[in-house]
Structure 1
Amino acid sequence: MVRYPMWVMLGIMSGLLWGCNNYLYGVGASAAGVGLAVGIGFPLACTAVNDMSAAIFLLAVNGLRGTFRAIRTVVSRSGFFLCAAALLGGPIGQLSYCLGILWAGPTYALALSALYPVVGCLLARLLLHQQVTLRMGIGIVLAVAGGVITGAVPADRAPLLLLPGMACALLAALCWGGEIVLAVRGMADIEPDLAITLRECISGMVLLGITLAFFSDDALLNALSAAPLSFMTLAAAGAVAGASYFLWYAVNRAIGCARGMATNATYIIWGVLLQWGIAGAEISGQMVVGCGLVFLGVLLVSLYPHSE
Structure 2
Amino acid sequence: MIEVLGKVDVAAIAAKKKLSSQFFRKGIIIALFSGLMYGFYSAFLTLGMKNGVWADWYGANTAALSVFVITYLLGALGSAVNDICSAIWAMIVAAVKGKFGDFLRCINSVPGRVMILAALIGGPISSTAYVVGLQMAGSIVIPITALCPAIGAILGRILFKQQLNKRMTLGIIICVAASFIIGSTSIGADAQKGAFAGICIAFIAALGWGFEGCVAGYGTSMIDPEIGITIRQATSGIANLIILLPIFGIMAGNAKLSMELAYQAFTSGSSMIWFAVSGLCAYLSYMSWYRGNSMCGVALGMACNGTYSFWGPFCCYIVLGIIFGMDGWALPPVVWFGAIMMMFGILVISMNPLDLFRKRDTEI
Instruction: Report the aligned-residue RMSD.
Output: 3.7
Q: Over residues 115-173 of structure 1, what are the superposed CA-to-partner deviations in whole Å (9 max), with x where a residue is unaligned?
A: 3221212334566676665445434543564466457433455799x7xx94x655433
The change in CA–CA distance for 1:298 and 1:223 in structure 2 (over 3 A counts) is closer
The reply to whether residue 24 of structure 1 matches residue 66 of structure 2 is no
The change in CA–CA distance for 1:198 and 1:236 in structure 2 (over 3 A counts) is same
Give secondary structure in 1 for the equivalent of 2:221.
coil
What amino acid sits opposite 1:22 in the alignment?
Answer: S
Quick one: which of 70, 73, 80 aligns to 2:113?
A: 80
Quick one: which of 242, 245, 269 aligns to 1:211?
A: 245
Q: What's the counterpart of residue 232 of structure 2? A: 199
What amino acid sits opposite 2:34 in the alignment?
Answer: S
Q: Aligned partners of 1:177, 1:153: CA distance in 2, in Å?
A: 23
* Offset, 1:219: 4.0
Aligned residues: 302
Give secondary structure in 1 for the equivalent of 2:50.
helix
The residue correspondences of 1:68-217 to structure 2 (distance < 5 A) are 68-71=100-103, 72-97=105-130, 113-125=145-157, 134-139=166-171, 141-143=173-175, 145-146=177-178, 149-150=181-182, 152-154=185-187, 155-156=191-192, 166=200, 170-209=203-242, 210-211=244-245, 214=249, 215=257
Q: What's the counterpart of residue 221 of structure 1? A: 263
Quick one: which of 1, 18, 35 aligns to 1:15?
A: 35
TM-score, length basis structure 2:
0.68
* Offset, 1:62: 1.0
TM-score, length basis structure 1:
0.79
* Offset, 1:282: 4.0
Give secondary structure in 1 for the equivalent of 2:51.
helix
Q: What's the counterpart of residue 282 of structure 2? A: 241
Q: Percent identity?
A: 28
Quick one: which of 288, 303, 317 aligns to 1:262?
A: 303
Q: Aligned partners of 1:272, 1:97: CA distance in 2, in Å?
A: 14
**Larger radius of gyration between Structure 1 and Structure 2:** 2
Query: Does structure 1 conserve the Cα–Cα contact (< 8 Å) formed by 2:34 and 2:289?
Result: yes
Q: Aligned partners of 1:124, 1:216: CA distance in 2, in Å?
A: 36
Q: Aligned partners of 1:83, 1:293: CA distance in 2, in Å?
A: 33
Q: What's the counterpart of residue 47 of structure 1? A: 79
The change in CA–CA distance for 1:128 and 1:16 in structure 2 (over 3 A counts) is farther
Q: Aligned partners of 1:137, 1:245: CA distance in 2, in Å?
A: 26
The change in CA–CA distance for 1:255 and 1:125 in structure 2 (over 3 A counts) is farther
Q: What's the counterpart of residue 286 of structure 1? A: 334
What amino acid sits opposite 2:28 in the alignment?
Answer: V
Q: Which runs of 5+ in 2 are unaligned?
A: 1-16, 58-64, 250-256, 323-328, 360-364
Q: Aligned partners of 2:289, 2:151: CA distance in 1, in Å?
A: 16
